[in-house]
Structure 1
Amino acid sequence: MNSLNYTGRLAPSPTGLLHLGHAATFWTAYQRAQQHNGTLLLRNEDLDPQRSKQEYVDAMIEDLTWLGIEWTPPVITQSKRIPLYREAFERLLSTGHAYACTCSRKDLAQMIAAPHEDTDDEPVYSGRCRPAKGTPPQAFQPNMNYRFRIPDEETISFTDLNLGPQSFTAGKDFGDFLIWRKDDLPSYQLACVVDDAETHITEVVRGSDLLKSTARQILLQRALALPAVDYFHTPLLRDEHGVRLAKRHDALALRTLRQQGHSPEDVVRMFST
């Protein structure tokens, strides 16, 4: 990696207060950028209109600043970038990489053969709506979900800069995944890939729960002819019961820790020990 060109990013979602687990990952991202004398960007991933709130945007900026993390402005806001995602989606649709899916939530629930891991956000899709090979590309229809057609049985391999060699098999570890939602918004996978490319991200630092998403995103990068990105996945912080930290852990929210009188140095020590 050329340190002079290093660009990383922080990518919180404003659906709750940042907690100790977020702080650990974001601190690592900040340190990685510092080590490479690079640039760090802040991306506000606010594509969940039901749960995203401005108060959480304000809180995450205040809490990150309090912790001592610095980034290069301005804050990148995903809800203001929909045309970029739409253009990428339409390219995938026109090249036959995407297709409409009419499956309901009930249909999808019935297709799950086994409970999916807490390290994956989407069950393996059965292919119920997948067009036969050789079918001409579909035209866009509103009020539809759209899936990315994976290359069956292909192994997607990459070397994580923290966790080492990784490999996932398309069709076994994950299936055709959502890229455009019926509410006319992109999925996390598509928006992430488009933003990383458009903002010239060279390394993505994030939690190990997104390792499988990395395999999906590599496929999207290839289909859209976008540059490859380096990845550095961090172990997840867990509570005393072994459950990974989530936004429901209010006692470990940075805001709560601050109110209890903890200093930024105290917080760093909490996830560094």
Structure 2
Amino acid sequence: MIGTPYRGRLAPSPTGLLHLGHARTFLIAAERAANGTLILRNDDLDTQRSRSEFVHAMLEDLAWLGIRWAEGPQTNGAETGSLGPYAQSQRSSLYTATFHQLHEAGFLYPCVCSRKDLLSAPHAPHADDEDEPLYPGTCRERNLDSDEPASWRFRVTDGEEVSFRDALLGPQTFIAGRDFGDFVIMRRDGVPSYQLACVVDDAAMQITEVVRGRDLLRSTARQILLLRALGHPIPTYAHVELMRNERGERLAKRDDARSLRYLRESGLTPQEVRKMALEEIE
């Protein structure tokens, strides 16, 4: 994507309050987009946990932190930009169309394995990527009843190397079938996975660089395979070191004491919070 005007994005999920770890990633994303265009996307696919009050809070907290975006939902309730809607819950037709494209091209197969099945399989999930246990290929060659509820997996080529140069972490290489297996792109309830929705939206919104936490490195490898299958340009990637609490655990939305809203209400200034978010990696 050399020569293409820079387009970066923020993609928070409104399932809780933003914390210092989010601030770190989003501040770096905003800085890298300083001479280009920054897009804010509301990744609200998790309909059970996404709440409107968290959408309002993330817009307020990002603006308070001093982050400005050119496209996406705004704090006044409006939406700017020509590539919206900028909420994933309103983009289901795009995900469905891409699912059919992948299915017709032979990349997908149905799978009836539950998460419990996978967690009890000999291959344990990776400690830093527990949302997607390594799939052992149980349903690859099974003839399933068409009426049986099933998710749909993208079939990887075992042994295929996926390499990219991360703008912050340097060269990265992952091997399909070893570092990750066949992965879900459509859940059995018809909800697209993070992998599918992210690829569709980043391509449609013409994102040239994806900035996110280093816990998503394997997701990047999966998404590069999807982008190749769909014939989309592959953006550059920049994975940010995670913030951790006193126990060495990465920050999560349950860490209320580190939420931006808590820090704001405690009297800290945006400048102080920005310093807290970035000082460990300077």
TM-score range, shorter chain: over 0.9
**1:113 shift after superposition:** 2.6
Query: Residue 22 in 1 paired to residue 28 in 2?
Result: no
Whole-angstrom CA distance in 1 between matches of 2:3 and 2:11: 21
Other-structure match for 2:41: 43
**1:80 shift after superposition:** 0.2
Other-structure match for 1:186: 192
Contact 1:112–1:124 at 8 Å: present in 2 too?
no
**1:143 shift after superposition:** 3.7
Other-structure match for 1:250: 256
Whole-angstrom CA distance in 1 between matches of 2:275 and 2:8: 23
Q: 2:267 aligns with which of 261, 266, 269?
A: 261
Contact 2:21–2:243 at 8 Å: present in 1 too?
yes
Identity of counterpart residues, as a percentage? 57
**1:99 shift after superposition:** 0.6
User: Structure 1 11/258 Cα, relative in aligned 2: closer, same or farther at 3 Å?
Assistant: same
Whole-angstrom CA distance in 1 between matches of 2:40 and 2:191: 21
C-alpha distance after superposition, 1:5-39 (max 9, x if no partner): 100000000000000000000000000000xx100
Q: 2:164 aligns with which of 153, 158, 162?
A: 158
Structure 2, unaligned stretches of length 5 or more? Answer: 74-85
Whole-angstrom CA distance in 1 between matches of 2:98 and 2:151: 15
Structure 1, unaligned stretches of length 5 or more? Answer: none
Other-structure match for 2:51: 53
Other-structure match for 1:94: 104
Aligned residues: 267
Q: 1:80 aligns with which of 90, 105, 111?
A: 90
Whole-angstrom CA distance in 1 between matches of 2:147 and 2:158: 25
SS of residue matched to 1:217: helix
Q: 2:115 aligns with which of 87, 92, 105?
A: 105
Whole-angstrom CA distance in 2 between matches of 1:91 and 1:141: 21
User: Structure 1 115/230 Cα, relative in aligned 2: closer, same or farther at 3 Å?
Assistant: closer
Q: 1:65 aligns with which of 63, 69, 78?
A: 63
Other-structure match for 2:79: none
C-alpha distance after superposition, 1:67-125 (max 9, x if no partner): 01001133310000001011111111111101100112332222143352124521110
TM-score w.r.t. structure 2 length?
A: 0.90
SS of residue matched to 1:237: coil
Moved over 4 A (4+): 1-4, 138-142
SS of residue matched to 2:191: coil
Query: Residue 211 in 1 paired to residue 221 in 2?
Result: no
What is the root-mean-square deviation of aligned Cα atoms in Å? 1.9
Whole-angstrom CA distance in 1 between matches of 2:260 and 2:146: 43
Contact 1:142–1:184 at 8 Å: present in 2 too?
no
Whole-angstrom CA distance in 2 between matches of 1:119 and 1:104: 17
User: Structure 1 186/142 Cα, relative in aligned 2: closer, same or farther at 3 Å?
Assistant: farther
Contact 1:93–1:139 at 8 Å: present in 2 too?
no
TM-score w.r.t. structure 1 length?
A: 0.93
Contact 2:162–2:173 at 8 Å: present in 1 too?
yes
SS of residue matched to 1:153: coil
